[in-house]
Amino acid sequence: MTATIQGTLTAMITPFRGGEVDYARLTANALFQIESGIDGLVPVGTTGESPTLSHEEHRLVIEKVVAAAKGAKRRVPVVAGTGSNATSEALELTRHAAHVGADAALMVNPYYNKPTQEGLYRHFMTVADAVALPIILYNIPGRTGVKMEPKTVARLAAHKNIVGVKEATGDLDVASEIAQLCDPAKFIILSGDDSLTLPLMSVGARGVISVLSNLVPQRVKALTEAVLRGDFAGARKVHLQLYPLCKAMFIETNPIPIKTAMSIAGMDTGELRLPMCEPTAATREVLVKALKDHGVTG
């Protein structure tokens, strides 16, 4: 299945209603993404407000998305978020994802406790040694407080179960060095920033785990499809069209803008869960204008 992890994968929002996860809406969102042609689903990541979910909710969100993908007319891979700052917890979540049929795991760097590069290496190796599920590393120092160095990524890439990295450092040099150290034909690099998808794909990335595709899946897929078929001129055109919308989705902390934008566009996302809260009035005005400028309506 790892051979098909490329293109546009959606970092799914988690809909809440009355303080609880709205599993019916979650399933509907997954089916909408699949019907829109998306290349994969990524539940319980940053965009899915995973830090606010209980372990039971976390497991059930993965189960519901896997069930939706398996029941759809067109099969797409599910890359389940299973990272934690406790290795034992990451191991348990990854085992569960494998047990319920996820195709791969997305494992974020341990956050808050700021391990060394050796600590990062041992953390991921412990899980990879114990669970026969493809693992995609998730390097996002802005959220975790620690950056995995390209040399550490390369050390981990030698493990048969560690198949790729979601590169969200915002640094094209980091992606370039990973591509230089790890054969992109064998090790999957995915952009973790919508606005940097085209630049990262130009140095070897195979696609994006996208926030924006929650809102406009077909437009984001048009960008990655163009690059994968070698049409960089076409991809650049789509990139420049989407760029203002990409930036608007991060004027406040993700997923506040994307959930708000989806709501403005008539897409039911439910509520945010504290400590995430509604945006300022000024942010909402920016989002309304961005959607209008891009012709995004309900």
As annotated, the active-site residues are 138, 166
Helix (H) or strand (E) holding 228: helix 217-228
Helix (H) or strand (E) holding 9: strand 7-11
CB contact at 8 A, 162 and 124: yes
Q: Which amino acid is at 72?
A: A
- Please tell me the distance from the alpha carbon of residue 116 to that of residue 122, in angstroms, as a whole number: 10
Strands annotated E in 18-78: 20-21, 40-42
CB contact at 8 A, 245 and 216: yes
- Please tell me the distance from the alpha carbon of residue 172 to that of residue 70, in angstroms, as a whole number: 35
Q: Which amino acid is at 220?
A: V
CB contact at 8 A, 169 and 147: yes
At residue 46, the 3 state secondary structure works out as coil
- Please tell me the distance from the alpha carbon of residue 78 to that of residue 65, in angstroms, as a whole number: 7
Of the candidates 229, 237, 281, 233, which has an alpha carbon nearest to the alpha carbon of residue 260?
A: 281
State residue 129 phi and psi, 5-degree precision: -70, -30
The stretches of 72-191 forming alpha helices (DSSP H) are: 87-100, 117-130, 141-144, 150-157, 172-181
